[in-house]
Amino acid sequence: MCHIGVVVLNYNKKELLERCLLSLFDLEYENFDIIVVDNGSSDGSIDLVRKKFEKVFLVEVGYNSGFCKGNNLGIKKAFSLGCDAVVILNNDTVVDSFFLRGVMLSFNNSEKIGMISTNIRLLDSPQIIDANGFLITPDGLGKNLNAGKAKEFGDFQQEVFCPTGAATFYSKELLEDIKQDGEYFDEDFEFCYEELDLGWRARLKGWKCFFAPKAIVYHKKSGTGGAYSDFFAYYSSRNITFNIIKNYPSFFYVARAFLLAFLRDVFLFLGIFFGKGVGKKVKDKNGGGKLVKIFLSSHIDAMKKIRRMFEKRSYIQKNKKVTRLEVKRWFKELGIPFFDSIYKI
C-alpha cells in the first residue's frame, strides 16, 4: 500500500484547518501521515494542532513563507517520514472518507501516471463541480475542467493536463524527477499557478496525469486566497508570464502565447469598461483604477525576474523528453481554444 503524506499549509485559518483535519481523520485508508505546515499563524492554529491533533506532524515555519516554500517544506518532511507520494491539500477543503482510496484507483507510477487530479466540488454547493483538473490554453493559462457543471460530469476517469491546486497528488518519483534548485514548487511563483508550472515541467519530462472521479474533496472556493482579489489578480498576471517563459517549448508557442495574453488583457479591460464577464467581477472587487495599477505592477515585477526565468527555461527545455507531436497533442486534446477560454471561469 502506497505510503502517502498529506500536506496541509496554514496561515491564520484556524477554523478552516480544524474542519479539514477532522475530515482527514475519517479517511478509509491506513497508510498515510498528515503534515501541517504553519506559516507563522497568530490565531491559535499551532495550539489547536498540538492539543487536538497530536498524531499530526507539525512544521512551524515562524513566518509567512508563501504557498510554494511552505508546501516544499511539507513535501520534504513527508519524504523524511518515508512517504512514497504526497497530497497537497488546501486548508479550506473537506475530504470524502474514500478520498485517498479513490486516488489510488487512478494512480499508476509504472505507466508514468505520477500526478492525479481529484474530484473537487464546491463545499457550499456539493452538487456542483469546482474543478476536475487543468486544461491548458495557448496564452499560458490553465482552465478548470467541468467548473460550474453538475457533479455527474465528473463521473468518468480521463486524462487531463495536470491537477488543480486545491487537492493534488504527486508521486515521489515524479517530484524528484522535476525538482530544480532543490525546489519542487518553484518558489519564485509564491502563490497561484504554481501547480500549473509543476504540471508543465512534469509533462515535459514525460509524466502523465489522470482525473480520479472517486477521489472527492469539497472546496470552500477561495477561502484562503480570495476570489477576484487584488492579491489573486497580481500573482496570476505575473505568474502567467513566468509559466510561458519557462515552459512553452518553442519560439512559436512562446510568441503566440504572449500575443494572446495581450489580447486577453484587452478583453479583460473591455469587460471592466462595459461591466461584463470576469472584468466586471474583478472591477466590483477592486475598482477599475486599482486593477490597472495591479496589472502594471505585476508586469514590472515579472520583468525584474525575466533573466532568472530564462535560466530556468534553459534547464527545463534542455532536459525535456517529449516530442513536438506530443506537445501538439496536449493543446489539441488536453487544452481549450483561446476564444473559448476567455469566457471560462
Domain annotation for the chain: domains and CATH numbers? 4-219 (3.90.550.10), 230-341 (no CATH)
pLDDT one-digit tens code per residue, 313-325: 999 999 999 999 9
Are the C-beta atoms of residues 259 and 251 closer than 8 Å to each other?
A: no
Give the helix, strand, coil percentages of the chain, each rounded to 5: 45, 20, 30
* The one-letter amino acid at 267: F
Measured CA to CA in angstroms, residue 196 lies from 98, 122, 246, 270, 345 at distances of 26, 21, 12, 27, 16
Per-residue pLDDT band for 280 (boundaries 50, 70, 90) equals low
Q: How many helices, marked H, and strands, marked E, lie in the chain?
A: 13, 12
Q: Which of 140, 207, 217 shows the shortest CA–CA distance to 176?
A: 207
pLDDT of residue 279: 63
Q: Does residue 293 carry a pLDDT above 90?
A: no
**Cα Rg for the chain, rounded, in angstroms?**
19
| Band (269; pLDDT cuts 50, 70, 90) | confident
For 325, half-sphere exposure in the C-beta direction (CA atoms, 13 angstrom radius) is: 0
| pLDDT, greater one: 62 or 342 | 62
Name the band, by pLDDT with cuts 50, 70 and 90, for residue 285. low
For residue 63, the model assigns a pLDDT of: 96
Please report which confidence band the pLDDT of residue 276 belongs to, taking 50, 70 and 90 as the band edges.
low
Helix (H) or strand (E) holding 134: strand 134-136
pLDDT at 271 over 90: no
pTM above 0.85, yes or no: yes
Query: What number is the average pLDDT over the span 147-165?
Result: 96
3-state secondary structure of 177: helix
Mean pLDDT of 302-315: 96
Q: For 45-132, where are the E strands, in sequence order?
A: 57-60, 85-89, 93-95, 113-122, 129-131
pLDDT at position 213, please? 97
Helical segments of 81-229, H only: 99-106, 172-178, 194-204
In this model, does residue 345 exceed pLDDT 50? no
Maximum mean pLDDT: which of 96-105, 216-225, 288-297: 96-105
Determine the Cα–Cα distance for residues 189 and 327; give it in Å rounded to an integer: 23
49-104 pLDDT, tens digit each: 999 999 999 999 999 999 999 999 999 999 999 999 999 999 999 999 999 999 99
In this prediction, residue 308 carries a pLDDT of: 97
- For 81, other C-beta atoms within 10 Å of its C-beta total 12
CB neighbours (10 Å) of residue 131?
29
